[in-house]
Amino acid sequence: MKKPNGIKPPSRPTVGKIVTDLSKEAPEIVSLGDLRKPRSQKYLENLLECAHKTHEAHEGDFYIVVHTKREKILGGLPRYYFIARRSAPTPTFDQSVYKFNSQTENIEYLWTVPSPEDCDYYMINAHLVVPEEQQLLGMVMNFFDGTLLKMAKKLNKEANDAPTLESFGKESVDDLKKGGLNV
């Protein structure tokens, strides 16, 4: 088949070719703890870049939330999304949270909650968790018993008994929407 004029073949491999080549290789065994620790240089660079940009643009303390997404097209390879925000987020799956102190310019690690499947694995096999992953097991347990939610509320200076959207019945949420509250 003759190529039309002006169209050149790609100068680097396409995503499809990369995925195909990677799928032919033996899968790399990575422990759950390794995925949750910010060991990679690129992860740390992205965390610091997010902190630096936000600190330059805004005054005061803030939180950096790192969402972990598994890219299906890349064989489940994790990708990290770094988002800065003023308030501590509600703990949820696939999330790590850091607090940036603007006075000392220090970043404090607060928590990590792995994927639902990983959380189930940790809870079911708590007695088998190696010492290096005990901290993560503790965070998973704190997530399920509500301790992380209490911590987030405390960081946001909310009362522990402050209602969450889940505590409202469907009728109450509908009433709030009618009142102009965007829920």
Residues 61-76 as b or e (16 or more Cβ within 10 Å = b): bbbbbbebeeeeeeee
d(CA 75, CA 72): 5
Whole-number pLDDT of residue 141: 95
Whole-number pLDDT of residue 19: 59
pLDDT digits (tens, 9 = 90+) for 94-138: 999 999 999 999 999 999 999 999 999 999 999 998 999 999 999
Among residues 113, 126, 108, the alpha carbon closest in space to that of 51 is found at 108
Pull the structure tokens for residue 134: 């005990």
Whole-number pLDDT of residue 24: 58
- Do 24 and 75 meet the contact criterion of CB atoms below 8 Å apart? no
Pull the structure tokens for residue 150: 């209490």
- Can you tell me which residue has the tokens 């005054």? 59
Whole-number pLDDT of residue 27: 45
* Strand segments (E) across the chain: 62-71, 77-85, 95-101, 106-113
DSSP string, 109-161: EEEEE--HHHHHHHHHTGGG--GGGHHHHHHHHHHHHTHHHHHHHHHTT--TT
Q: Domain spans of the chain?
A: 24-158
pLDDT digits (tens, 9 = 90+) for 1-25: 555 555 566 667 766 666 566 555 5
Whole-number pLDDT of residue 95: 96
pLDDT digits (tens, 9 = 90+) for 33-87: 444 454 578 889 999 999 999 999 988 999 999 999 887 776 677 889 999 999 9
